């Protein structure tokens, strides 16, 4: 891997000239490099449990499975901060939150003047485009073309913000519309003489999991087994006990589960009215036709306690799956388009999510925690010709690795300050001996919705050590081999003291390496 660095003692004029020369040489280098395109499809909150190429228990996702079957599946894929905006910022910059400064969704605005991989790809001669969810508060930079949804976006008849700063409403279902726009860019708008990088960022599968009308009737005859730890009592895990993301307590029967009746009140009723208020007559008629009998039955039964919790779980699963179904169909449309245009051989196709999600594990929906279900994210790739690797890749990878991967694939230099590591050697079938042995994680958004306390931690192949801090000072240790669902906090047990000592040393090393100013203090720890 080639790295370049400007000498900071140069005058600005020299630096500008050197910068120009560096980008010329970048371009020259890229010109002699195979022109691989990159199609990066990222969903929101789509966990591996709900993809049949990862998990066969729940639903079929034949189009996503095509990507994995023709390419590779990462079995140890993780994010650096399990939340929408921060995860997107990590992906774009190849840096942890402490370096890209987008810590949380509630207080941060992404500094669009900073280095991102789309900007570096432009310098290497690529045409770059972004369609769909952005969620970084500032407008996109580094894209020749972009069209984004404001904030979280709406499932029905969504607004799009266009590059000339107009807002347009498009009729239809968002997953179809984002795909239509992505294909339209590839077909009609791009400069076909240049390699391209297209980011397709879906709103799906985000809360509140609103199905397209054509999929409403799916999965209704299915009943799903509860996860073994659905009734977790969070013993020995203070932060887990303090969250507000439980299916039983926090999933709103109207907003989340669509049990709307004028005479019933829930905290999020008005939000539900807003979302369904966007539907046109035809969409609303199909929606009501499906939901009205379920609503009537629900209020008539007056479920309580465990019966209510389990009813909520079943509805949650069905709504989520219907939303995934549209996504899978639309991924199929993109694959078919690339095939039809003869682009498959020279295109890297990536499918991932901004993080994982809980499907009732620990009794939860949502994400945020460093526990496995939400620290993990699915990652599958279809590789261009010349990359012969197929099947599973089991090295630990993180979303900060995508930026350097795309740069190396494009033949561009990887700047020194990028914290991720290129996955290209893995895609070529190599198993680098010095591959990372541990991953760093840091979640900041607290106090905020769902009330998951701030924490950082380290994950190795076998262990996970987490420190919850801020208004709490609580450590957790898991042996992932013996306890993969993280139910037994081993921190403080005498026999694990040597393991904890080593993990804390490694944790501090990572915090120093990534220059995280919020870090574990060995001095305070000894007090």
Nearest distance from C-beta of residue 88 to Ca ion, angstroms: 9
CB of 44 or CB of 395, closer to Ca ion: 44
Torsion angles phi and psi, residue 329, rounded to 5: -60, -40
CB of 89 or CB of 279, closer to Ca ion: 89
CB of 44 or CB of 144, closer to Ca ion: 44
Q: Which two tokens stand for residue 174?
A: 């968002």
Radius of gyration of the chain (CA): 23
Nearest distance from C-beta of residue 45 to Ca ion, angstroms: 4
DSSP 162: E
Among 43-51, 119-127, 309-317, 480-488, the segment contacting Ca ion (CB under 5 A): 43-51
**Sites for Ca ion among residues 124-163 (CB under 5 A):** none
CB of 84 or CB of 128, closer to Ca ion: 84
Q: Which two tokens stand for residue 432?
A: 């680098």
CB of 354 or CB of 372, closer to Ca ion: 354
Go through 497-527 and write b for each residue having 16 or more CB atoms within 10 A of its CB, e for each that does not: eebbeebbebbbebbeebebeebbeeeeeee
Query: What are 464's strand-pairing partners?
Result: 459, 478
Among 35-43, 79-87, 292-300, 387-395, the segment contacting Ca ion (CB under 5 A): 79-87
Nearest distance from C-beta of residue 56 to Ca ion, angstroms: 24
Go through 51-83 and write b for each residue having 16 or more CB atoms within 10 A of its CB, e for each that does not: bbbbeeebbebebbbbbbeebbbbbbbbbbbbb
366 binds Ca ion (CB under 5 A): no
CB of 66 or CB of 368, closer to Ca ion: 368
354 near 207, Cβ under 8 Å? no
44 binds Ca ion (CB under 5 A): yes
Q: Which two tokens stand for residue 331?
A: 């991924």
Among 81-89, 229-237, 243-251, 445-453, the segment contacting Ca ion (CB under 5 A): 81-89
Nearest distance from C-beta of residue 443 to Ca ion, angstroms: 13
Q: Please state, in angstroms and rounded to a whole number, the distance separating the CA atoms of residues 420 and 414.
A: 10
CB of 364 or CB of 463, closer to Ca ion: 364
Nearest distance from C-beta of residue 354 to Ca ion, angstroms: 4
Nearest distance from C-beta of residue 91 to Ca ion, angstroms: 12
The residues, ordered by sequence, that sit 6+ positions from 431 with a Cβ below 8 Å of its Cβ are 395
198 near 159, Cβ under 8 Å? no
DSSP 446: -
486 binds Ca ion (CB under 5 A): no
**Sites for Ca ion among residues 332-361 (CB under 5 A):** 354
Q: Judge residue 382's burial from the number of C-beta atoms within 10 Å of its C-beta, 0-12 exposed, 13-18 middle, 19 or more buried.
A: buried
The single residue among 37, 43, 81, 84 that binds Ca ion, judged by CB under 5 A, is: 84
Q: Please state, in angstroms and rounded to a whole number, the distance separating the CA atoms of residues 215 and 217.
A: 6
43 binds Ca ion (CB under 5 A): no
CB of 211 or CB of 374, closer to Ca ion: 374
Chain residues that interact with Ca ion, rule: CB under 5 A: 44-45, 84, 354
């Amino acid at each position: 891997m080639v790295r370049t660095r400007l000498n900071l003692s140069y005058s600005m004029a020299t630096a500008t000239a050197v910068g120009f020369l560096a980008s010329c040489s970048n371009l020259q280098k890229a010109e002699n490099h195979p022109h691989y395109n990159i199609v990066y499809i990222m969903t929101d909150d789509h966990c591996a449990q709900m993809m049949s190429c990862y998990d066969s228990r729940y639903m079929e996702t034949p189009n996503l499975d095509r990507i994995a079957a023709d390419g590779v599946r990462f079995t140890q894929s993780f994010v650096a901060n399990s939340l929408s905006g921060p995860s997107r910022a990590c992906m774009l910059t190849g840096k942890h939150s402490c370096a890209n400064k987008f810590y949380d969704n509630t207080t941060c605005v992404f500094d669009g003047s900073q280095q991102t991989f789309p900007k570096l790809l432009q310098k290497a001669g690529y045409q770059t485009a972004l369609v769909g969810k952005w969620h970084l508060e500032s407008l996109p930079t580094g894209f020749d073309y972009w069209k984004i949804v404001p904030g979280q976006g709406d499932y029905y008849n969504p607004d799009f913000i266009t590059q000339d700063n107009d807002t347009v409403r498009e009729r239809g279902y968002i997953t179809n519309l984002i795909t239509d726009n992505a294909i339209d860019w590839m077909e009609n708008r791009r400069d076909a003489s240049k390699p391209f990088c297209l980011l397709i960022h879906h709103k799906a599968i985000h809360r509140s999991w609103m199905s397209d009308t054509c999929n409403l009737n799916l999965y209704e005859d299915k009943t799903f087994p509860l996860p073994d730890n659905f009734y977790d009592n969070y013993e020995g895990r203070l932060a887990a006990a303090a969250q507000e993301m439980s299916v039983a307590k926090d999933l709103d029967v109207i907003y989340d589960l669509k049990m709307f009746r004028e005479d019933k009140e829930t905290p999020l009723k008005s939000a539900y009215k807003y979302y369904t208020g966007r539907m046109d007559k035809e969409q609303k008629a199909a929606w009501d036709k499906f939901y009205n009998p379920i609503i009537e039955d629900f209020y008539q039964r007056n479920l309580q306690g465990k019966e209510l919790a389990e009813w909520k779980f079943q509805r949650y699963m069905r709504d989520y799956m219907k939303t995934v179904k549209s996504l899978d169909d639309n991924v199929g449309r993109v694959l078919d388009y690339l095939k039809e245009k003869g682009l498959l051989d020279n295109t890297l196709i990536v499918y991932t999510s901004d993080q994982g999600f809980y499907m009732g594990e620990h009794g939860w929906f949502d994400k945020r925690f460093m526990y496995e279900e939400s620290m993990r994210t699915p990652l599958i790739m279809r590789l261009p010709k010349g990359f012969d690797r197929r099947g599973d890749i089991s090295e630990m990878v993180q979303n900060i690795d995508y930026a350097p991967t795309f740069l190396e694939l494009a033949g561009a230099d990887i700047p020194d300050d990028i914290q991720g590591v290129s996955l290209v050697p893995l895609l070529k079938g190599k198993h680098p001996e010095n591959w990372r042995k541990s991953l760093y994680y840091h979640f900041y958004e607290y106090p905020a919705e769902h009330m998951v306390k701030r924490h950082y931690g380290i994950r190795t192949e076998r262990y996970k050590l987490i420190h919850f801090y801020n208004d709490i000072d609580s450590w957790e240790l898991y042996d992932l081999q013996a306890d993969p669902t993280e139910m037994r906090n081993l921190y403080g047990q005498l026999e694990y003291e040597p393991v904890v000592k080593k993990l804390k040393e490694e944790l501090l090393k990572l915090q120093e390496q990534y220059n995280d100013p919020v870090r574990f203090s060995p001095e305070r720890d000894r007090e």
